[in-house]
A and B are shown apart, each in its own frame.
Chain A
Amino acid sequence: MESVTRWLELWREGDDAAMERVTALIYRDLRRLAAYHLKAESDAADLQATALVHEVYLRMSSLRSIHWEGRAHFISVVTKMMRQILVDHARARRAAKRSAPEASDVPLIQEHHQLDTLAVDEALERMNRTYPRCAQVVELRFFGDLDFGEIAGVMDISLATVERDWRFARAYLRKAMQG
């Protein structure tokens, strides 16, 4: 990751070639992240993951003006990107379902509540106003897919605090999503 920071420094100073290096590195990391989950999935799922990562790549290009503060900041930025991509993606899926040509074949799921990315995103936005630290833990874990140890490192807080924040945040979000 040090290398990413260094390339980012170069990039910020105007070296456009550095951007290629950074994105290649990020691409590799995100790809690894997706593959970790997808194991040996079917081709279709693989394609979706690839497309997802491509979106991350495209977004990176518009990040020129951001002032980088090293690794922690970088991870949180990437996490925010991931979050944005996933929310857009979920929104597109929902719209597609609504106007799908075989609409009559869509299962009519009458659930009491809907646990989905969009709902978490909205609830998280509200949570950020009263419990910003908890919200960040959730963002890193849920959208950034960091484990508790990594989160503790990035945020520079204790592991116990991360775990407590997560437990509280999970209840808070779950409750918010129900109502």
Chain B
Amino acid sequence: MSDEALRDLFEQALELSPEQQATFLARACGENAALRQEVEGLLAADAEAAKETFWQHSALRNQVIADGGTEAALGEVVGSYRLVELLGKGGMGAVYRAERIDAEFAKDVAVKLIGGYFHSTEVIAHFRAERQILANLEHPNIARLLDGGTREDGSPYLIMEYIEGVLPGEYCGKHNLSTDDRLVLFRQICSAVHFAHQHMVIHRDLKPANILVTAGGVPKLLDFGIAKVLTPDVSRAPAALTEPGMLRLTARYASPEQIRGETVTTASDVYSLSVILYELLTSHSPYGDTNRPAHQIMSAVCEEEPARPSTWAPRLKGDLDNIILRALRKSPSERYASADQFSEDILRFLEGRPVQARGEAPLYVAAKFIRRNRAMVAVAALLLCSLVIGLIEVTLARRRADRRFNEVRQLAHSVMFDYADAIDRLPGATPVRERLVKDALTYLDGLSKEADTPELQREIVEAYVRVSNVQGNEYQNNLGDTAASLASAKKAVAVADKLLKKDHSLGALNAAASAFSTEGSLFYSTGDLSAADTAYRRALSLRAEIARQAPTEIDNQIAMATALNHLGDLYGGYGFANLGKTAEALAYYERAKDLTENLVAHSPGNVEAVKESYEVLLSLSTSEAVAGRRQDAVRDLNTALTQIESVLTIQPRDTNVKVELANAESRMGQMLVDAREAPAAIPHVTHAAGLLQELSAADPENAVFRRGRSVVEGQWAAALRGAGQAAAGVAHNQESLQLAEALSKTSPDSAQYRVDVGVAERKLSEGFLAAGDAAAALHAAEQASVTLCPTEPSTGNPNLLANCGRAELAAGNAWLATHNPQVAEQVLRKAVTVASTQSQGDPQNAIFRSDAARTQAALAAAMAQSGDLDSAQAMYGVALKNWTVLRTSGAITAEDSHRCDDAASALAKMSSHR
């Protein structure tokens, strides 16, 4: 290839539109793929370069910019302000002090400009995002955004409150602040960060250089230049926000997850805050020598345990060591959950109350050791357990008031808590766990006899709850021993009852509440519903008492919503064993909803609150749908969807959240299909199918995902059918059936999977019928009947019977379509008997009533076709009566409403003919 040819092609291609270019190059380069690639590369580079200001400047100019100059000059006017002083340069821009040109107001402002040759669209998008973020953040400790705009060259600028102040360290030094005063100052910074978190903003670049303290001692947070917005609608718009390429941070203050390029959460800001506090109190970095090269500091942040702050300043020994180190944990989940909790713990220290971070650091090291040395864990754990228990017993025997007793007790306590946690994550740890539980119970049973102080009793309650969870909590790795688990929970409740006689402090109430709710869920899983009811309600009333004492305690409010949600499930949760009281269930769910709604509104950044909220909404909307309150159901489901998506943007790898999203999308799809809004349902079911496919690909054996896929394929088919694409729908019915059959084959004993196969066959039949293939519809419906209808007389399972009835309805419809009204009539008569009996047995159940009406209308049609007009008229009348009941109570679906109208007009036609 000649160099001139390359250049010629490039220049000729430049004259053409992108579409023409492709044709031109294909013709001009022929077989020479390398040449074509070369030209295309040049064209792409040309487009890139055209966007970059770098090429508009000389090397000298670029160098001056890179060295720290900017394109703006002092004296230049931006908006209505004249730049008078360069205050500083950041990663992407420079900040100037500026004064108003008309000098109407004497007050100076800070003007932030994009600097240098970083004028890419990405950076501009980022800058705009910062403006958007700041506009929503009005807080006494955050520098205020006053205005913003665009300069002549298209680059944006921000006008901000001008803060006259010094760096926090300098301020503390100059005023010779005591440790307590420094903590008070620091708590104000925490409050600014927490405020940002509540507005779904993560700062991501907290460091002293981004904080100025005014002469009045007020710290102000500056520079949200790389902040991240958590709400889905904002974070989606400028994609650049989350791009790792945009990551700029200062190694010393960055959290390990930021350095590793992992998901950044509010806990990352908590970490950076802790580094700031560490330096403020010790004048040292947690990672020693800060003059080390950046890569060494980065690996220290990720690998090295920070030196205890008291290493530098012995006065910090104890609580402050623990508080700071807790916020500096490598794993985000082990830090304080929020800047607010961090700040609260500091307040506890300032007020001389016991702090939460007490005594956990050595155990953290132990847990870390366990993770690193899995093979040794079993032996070590056994040794440590017996050692600790032994120590306790010896010490107990000696003197209980001894100070050492408290220390040992704390250690034992922590062993059970943190150690059990660490073991939890290990495969094959069951024997260790069993031994731990056994030893712990011996220890606790002994201790509870002697326990007479509220504090000790509280710890015992907490410990029994803990042991109970290890023994049989469904939601954790457990030993699967529900009976033993319930026994421990009962012990916890017994001690809690004693405790509550003397102590109604928050700690006592919290411990007791978790004892009751643990006991409640264990009663529930052993089927003792009325005992569960009592326990749940006691938990709820304790939570309410805590809420009265500490109305802002978010964790308690979340726990309260959980309690209400459990009660809702217990009273009438769809798909749960329940007391059959739908109205009460709805009332509980609605109370839970009020609570979480309020919670989310006031602390939108609290992920746990959002999670609780959508769980409540999912339960509620299902119950609303069952009760026929379709509009409410759709509204609540929509809110849940938005919330799940917002959590997924923060925790994109969380499988559980993805499953919830798929589940909610699929329900939304179903509701829309039922409402005859099938085209609107398609994106929802497509999304659900995509999510499940993704989950299933990552974990192919997982039965929940496989089952979900089959269900969603069926819904997809229904949505397509409703949207007038019946033939396309059939393909999805077939896919659904295949998935169900494969799953049933792997677990042939599962009755549920058999039912899934039958339902898929029945839906396939409906699909074929809509696509006009009556013969295939008949075949599929017959198969569904074989799969679903019991050969023996009914076992009384209402769900199975209902499914059998629907299969026969499908068969009847197929016989009708193949012009065999007599056979249809025969089949449908049987189906009508089943459906009517079911509906009469549970008259509140809208689904059963709908089944009955549909079957009756189908039978009427069959009768009419075979000429038995009297019977047909009567049967239509019965069907219409059922539908009218549904319509009057507002529980009718749009689909049924349509069928009802069809039946009415068929009846009217018949009457007029006679």
**Which residues, 31 to 52 on A, are CB-close (under 8 Å) to B?**
33-34, 37-42, 44-45, 48-49, 52
User: Quick check: which of B7-15, B21-29, B603-611, B671-679 contacts chain A, the rest being far away?
Assistant: B7-15
Closest Cβ of chain A: how far from B636's Cβ, in Å?
A: 42
Nearest residue in B to A42 (C-beta to C-beta)? B86
Q: Is B619 an interface residue (CB 8 A)?
A: no
A126 vs B86: C-alpha distance when bound (angstroms): 40
**Which residues, 290 to 312 on B, are CB-close (under 8 Å) to A?**
290-294, 297-298
Q: Which residues of chain A come closer than 8 Å to B293, judged between CB atoms? A: 98-99, 103
Contacting residue for B64 out of A40, A45, A168, A170, CB 8 A: A45
Q: Mark B230-251, 1 if CB is under 8 A from A, else 0.
A: 0000000000000011011111
Contacting residue for A82 out of B11, B60, B297, CB 8 A: B60
Nearest residue in A to B41 (C-beta to C-beta)? A175
Q: Which residues of chain A come closer than 8 Å to B117, judged between CB atoms? A: 115
Q: Which residues of chain B come closer than 8 Å to A101, judged between CB atoms? A: 291
Nearest residue in A to B243 (C-beta to C-beta)? A110
Report yes or no: A117 in contact with B59, Cβ–Cβ below 8 A.
yes
**Which residues, 57 to 76 on B, are CB-close (under 8 Å) to A?**
57-64, 66-69, 73-75
A33 vs B91: C-alpha distance when bound (angstroms): 27
Report yes or no: A112 in contact with B250, Cβ–Cβ below 8 A.
no
Q: Is A61 an interface residue (CB 8 A)?
A: no
Contacting residue for B292 out of A48, A103, A109, CB 8 A: A103
**Which residues, 130 to 168 on A, are CB-close (under 8 Å) to B?**
130-131, 141-145, 164, 167-168
Q: Is A174 an interface residue (CB 8 A)?
A: yes
A42 vs B10: C-alpha distance when bound (angstroms): 43
Contacting residue for A38 out of B45, B49, B64, B86, CB 8 A: B64
Q: Mark A107-137, 1 if CB is under 8 A from B, else 0.
A: 1111110011100100000000011000000
Knowing A107-B248, A174-B46, A175-B41 are in contact, say whether A44-B68 is a contact too (CB < 8 A). yes
- Count residues of B near A (Cβ-Cβ below 8 Å): 50
Nearest residue in B to A39 (C-beta to C-beta)? B73
Q: Mark B91-109, 1 if CB is under 8 A from A, else 0.
A: 1000000000000000000
A98 vs B45: C-alpha distance when bound (angstroms): 29
Closest Cβ of chain A: how far from B414's Cβ, in Å?
A: 34
A60 vs B273: C-alpha distance when bound (angstroms): 54
Contacting residue for B42 out of A89, A104, A131, A171, CB 8 A: A171
Q: Mark A82-96, 1 if CB is under 8 A from B, else 0.
A: 110010011001000
Q: Is B749 an interface residue (CB 8 A)?
A: no
Q: Which residues of chain A come closer than 8 Å to B250, judged between CB atoms? A: 104-105, 107
A40 vs B86: C-alpha distance when bound (angstroms): 12
Q: Is A68 an interface residue (CB 8 A)?
A: no
Specify which of B11, B43, B63 lies most central, judged by the most chain A CB atoms within 10 Å of its CB. Answer: B63
Nearest residue in A to B246 (C-beta to C-beta)? A110
Which secondary structure characterizes the binding site on chain B? helix
Report yes or no: B46 in contact with A170, Cβ–Cβ below 8 A.
yes
Report yes or no: A45 in contact with B42, Cβ–Cβ below 8 A.
no
Closest Cβ of chain A: how far from B125's Cβ, in Å?
A: 16
Q: Is A13 an interface residue (CB 8 A)?
A: no
Report yes or no: A178 in contact with B45, Cβ–Cβ below 8 A.
yes
Report yes or no: B59 in contact with A175, Cβ–Cβ below 8 A.
no
Report yes or no: B42 in contact with A37, Cβ–Cβ below 8 A.
no
A138 vs B249: C-alpha distance when bound (angstroms): 35
A135 vs B244: C-alpha distance when bound (angstroms): 35
A44 vs B86: C-alpha distance when bound (angstroms): 11
Q: Mark B25-49, 1 if CB is under 8 A from A, else 0.
A: 0000000000000000111111011
Report yes or no: A168 in contact with B7, Cβ–Cβ below 8 A.
yes
The interface of chain B, by Cβ under 8 A from chain A, is 3, 7, 10-11, 14, 41-46, 48-49, 52, 54-55, 57-64, 66-69, 73-75, 86, 91, 117, 209, 244-245, 247-252, 290-294, 297-298
Q: List 8 A-B contacts (CB under 8 A).
A: A40-B75, A41-B74, A48-B67, A98-B293, A105-B252, A170-B46, A171-B46, A171-B49
